């Protein structure tokens, strides 16, 4: 059946009503799709992270390279000095992600002093500066560890 014949059989007022209803229902349909997709994504994230612990509960043992493991005593010493002993594993994990213990500026701490990246040439100094800076950020963040980690990675400008 050609469209012109179909259009002629149905009064114009009915067509306008049908088009109006379709236009009104379209945003509602999109909203429904969006909420279903968001719900599914949220469900997948929550069910896939059952064995993950909150960042607020800093415990466990960081899996780090042998090169980084050699620096553990320094991490423990400076963490004790700056009052962040309970974050040693977190600091090791963060350092593993940043440098893997393969650079002289182990904690990528030179930027916290306002220096160009990787300019600290003594691993012990890098650990000292990095943990001191971490403790300062932890204090400024009011103990919020997520905010502390974000702040640690912001470049300090002198």
Q: What would the pLDDT profile of 39-56 be if each residue is shown by its tens digit? A: 777 755 554 444 434 334
- Separation of alpha carbons 135 and 17, rounded Å: 66
pLDDT given for residue 12 in this prediction: 80
Q: What is the largest CA-CA distance in the chain?
A: 88
- Separation of alpha carbons 109 and 98, rounded Å: 10
**Between 27 and 45, whose confidence is greater?**
27
Token match 């002629």: residue?
8
Of 116, 156, 117, nearest to 134 by C-alpha is: 156
- Separation of alpha carbons 139 and 143, rounded Å: 6
Segment among 9-13, 42-46, 110-114 with least mean pLDDT: 42-46
Average model confidence (pLDDT) for the chain?
81
pLDDT given for residue 18 in this prediction: 86
CA dihedral 147, 148, 154, 155 (to 10 degrees): 160
Q: How many CB atoms lie within 10 A of CB 84?
A: 21
pLDDT given for residue 156 in this prediction: 56
**Between 60 and 102, whose confidence is greater?**
102
149's CB contacts (< 8 A; 6+ apart) are 55, 94
pLDDT given for residue 54 in this prediction: 39
Q: What is the rounded average pLDDT of the residues 126-144?
A: 92
Percent of the chain predicted with pLDDT > 90: 28
- Separation of alpha carbons 149 and 63, rounded Å: 18
pLDDT given for residue 44 in this prediction: 55
Map out the domains of the chain as residue ranges: 3-48, 66-152
In 104-153, alpha helices (H): 123-140, 145-152
Tokens for 71, please give them: 């620096």
pLDDT given for residue 102 in this prediction: 86
Please say whether the structural domain 66-152 has been given the CATH code 3.50.40.10: no
pLDDT given for residue 39 in this prediction: 78
Asked whether 153 and 99 are in contact (CB, 8 A), the reply is no
């Amino acid at each position: 059946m050609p469209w012109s014949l179909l259009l002629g059989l149905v009064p114009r007022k009915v067509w306008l009503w049908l088009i109006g209803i379709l236009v009104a229902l379209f945003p509602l349909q999109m909203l429904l799709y969006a909420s279903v997709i968001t719900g599914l994504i949220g469900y997948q994230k929550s069910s896939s992270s059952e064995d993950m612990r909150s960042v607020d509960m800093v415990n466990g043992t960081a899996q780090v390279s042998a090169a980084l493991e050699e620096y553990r005593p320094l991490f423990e010493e400076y963490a004790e000095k700056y009052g962040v002993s309970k974050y040693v594993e977190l600091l090791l994990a963060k350092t593993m992600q940043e440098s893997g213990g393969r650079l002289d500026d182990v904690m990528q701490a030179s930027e916290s002093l306002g220096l160009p990246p990787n300019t600290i040439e003594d691993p012990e100094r890098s650990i000292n500066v990095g943990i001191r800076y971490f403790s300062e950020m932890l204090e400024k963040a009011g103990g919020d560890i997520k905010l502390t980690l974000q702040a640690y990675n912001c470049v300090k400008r002198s």
